[in-house]
Structure 1
Amino acid sequence: MPESPEVQALAENLADRLAGRVLGEVDVVEFRTVKTRTRPPSSLADAAVTDVRRLGKHVDVVFGDDHLLVSLGRHGWMRWAGEPLAATADGDSAPPTLAVFDFGDGTTLEATDAGDWVSLGLSVVDDPAEVAAVAKLGPDPADADFTRDEFDRAVRGRRKQIKAILQEQESLSGIGNAYSDEILHAAKVSPVAHAAALDTDALDRVFASTTATVRDAIAARRGIPLHELKAAKVAAMRVHGRAGLSCPVCGDTIRDFRFGSTTAEYCPTCQTGGAEL
């Protein structure tokens, strides 16, 4: 699942390449990606890109007063036509192209989705807040003005597992499964601990780890070609996806466990007092 560091790098890459460019033809290969049927992406033809920005895990391509809101979902991504393709996690062929945006001069942007079901969404709106998933986004830890008060309002006192809260876009936007694992490992907090059970010291660590992990990752991904971002993310992980390997902090074996519809990784010594979940 794309998360804020990689989506930020994607948005900045698009901004660099598309600023001032006029959209030509649009070819929607998979009609289920279009969420605003009365305003398809082709309605933006002949308009120029004025900005590209990230909103949580979404990309907002701005065409003056109009916005093409790209919701990447679980497996969505974007790539430049003609550049190397990033293989899927299982080593099979690259994910299929679901929509093509031609900006002329050989500048062609493709929207892809690697999932078994279509999670990518394309919406043309006057205001990104017209898209429900954007309207309900919580504060973003990547923002320089993100405060401890905002963090406390999202987390403190809640009878819910801290890992789930970190991934809850209405509470804190941009964080997914991978970075929540990394945040909690750095904070030395169990992923299944309820937020209400965390003392002030633990909350201090989670807050500091959340902001540092997200912001450091954004800085590290900046400037990496789009087709290399996923590999860069995987290579940077300390515990996520590392089950069976040694913890880089204490040397214990990293474990995994089922968390909802996915898995989570943690270090028993660093995070759970030696207990296996």
Structure 2
Amino acid sequence: MPELPEVQALAGYLRERAVGRRVQRVEVSAINAMKTYDPSPAALAGLPVTEAGRHGKFLDVTFDGGREDGPAGGSGLHLVVHLARAGWLHYRNSFSSAAPLRPGKGPIALRVRLDDGSGFDLTEAGTQKKLAAYLVTDPMLVPGVARLGPDALAVDPATFAQRLRGRRGQVKGVLTDQETLAGIGNAYSDEILHAARLSPFALTNRLGDEQIASLYAAMREVLTDAVTRSRGQRAAELKGEKRSGLKVHARTGLPCPVCGDIVREVSFADSSLQYCPICQTGGRPLADRRLSRLVR
């Protein structure tokens, strides 16, 4: 799943290539991916791309509304996208065909064609289609954006401590709760907890001041490093760049690069986490069953 560093890099990639270009047309292939109907995607035709940014893990592409009597009333439109687990953005310097997309065919959910022949596709692999796109006049009209907590790279230490202790629970789940902190997902939460030498099942209300401080420092270090490594990468290279920087996530059975112990996994119904017993749980493996009393 694209998280804060990858979405920030995708936004930067769009700023370099799409800003200043006008939309030729927008094609929606997966009707269920488009969560809004007014304004219509057709309202983007002729509008220039003016900015690209993010809100947590949401990508936000801004289009100038132009005339006061135009489709956006002069206020501008935002294409806000949550890529979910298997979604991605692919930038095309040119398209192989000028023919419109056929609804329901292939992995492409939405295509934006620009006036220079370039553009981008929003795609989603797999059978669970959860990619969501919203065309709105204000990003705060997107329910997921409106609920976001402070950004993980912008939050200060005091607010971070307050947010964590304000939601009692296992630290892994609290870190990935977007209403608590925005931008951290499954992969980087594993990396942050490994860097902080904390069990993913440590309870937030039992963390001491030093542990909270260590967790904050680890979050800053892991995310800042990932953002730095992702900066300037082409969209097609970002996934590989992310994988190359991971120390425990998706590395089950491989040696921990810090201590050499074997990276272990705890599996759930639709996800899993990875950790190092020596670095994080005092050498004790966590029970790999969902309803067990897990080591903390």
Matches within 5 A, 1:205-244: 205-244=214-253
Query: Which of these two proteins has the greater Rg computed from alpha carbons?
Result: 2
- Determine the C-alpha separation between the residues in 2 that align with 1:158 and 1:136: 15
Contact map agreement 1:27 1:99 (CA 8 A) in 2? yes
Deviations 1:52-82 (A, max 9, x none): 1111111111112211111212221110236
- Residue 49 of structure 2 corresponds to residue 49 of structure 1: yes
CA contact (8 A) 2:22 2:46 kept: yes
Structure-2 residue corresponding to 1:91: none
After TM superposition, the score normalised by the length of structure 2 is 0.86
What is the aligned counterpart of 2:109 among 93, 98, 104?
A: 98
**C-alpha deviation, 1:159, in angstroms:** 2.7
Shift of 1:255: 0.4
Aligned length: 264
Does residue 204 in structure 1 map to residue 235 in structure 2? no
| Percent of aligned pairs sharing the same letter | 43
Structure 1 portions without partners, runs of 5+: 84-94
Cα separation, 2, equivalents of 1:78 and 1:7? 10
Partner of 1:113: 124
TM value normalised by structure 1: 0.92
2:198 touches 2:281 (CA, 8 Å); kept in 1?
A: yes
Aligned counterpart for 1:275 among listed residues 261, 268, 284: 284
For the 8 Å contact 1:243–1:253, the answer to whether it is kept is: yes
Deviating above 4 A after TM superposition, structure 1's stretches of 4 or more consecutive aligned residues are none
Post-superposition CA distance 1:223-243 (Å, at most 9, x none): 111111111111110000111
CA deviation string 1:93-127 (max 9, x = no partner):
xx811111110222121110113122111111111
Unaligned runs of at least 5 residues, structure 2:
65-75, 95-105, 287-296
Query: Do the aligned partners of 2:26 and 2:113 also contact (CA within 8 Å) in 1?
Result: yes
Residues 1:30 and 1:158: Cα distance change in structure 2 (over 3 Å): closer
Q: How far, CA to CA, are the matches of 1:16 and 1:157 in structure 2? A: 39
| RMSD over aligned Cα atoms | 1.4
Q: Which amino acid aligns with 2:45?
A: A
Aligned AA (2:145): V
- Structure 1 residue matching 2:24: 3-state secondary structure: coil
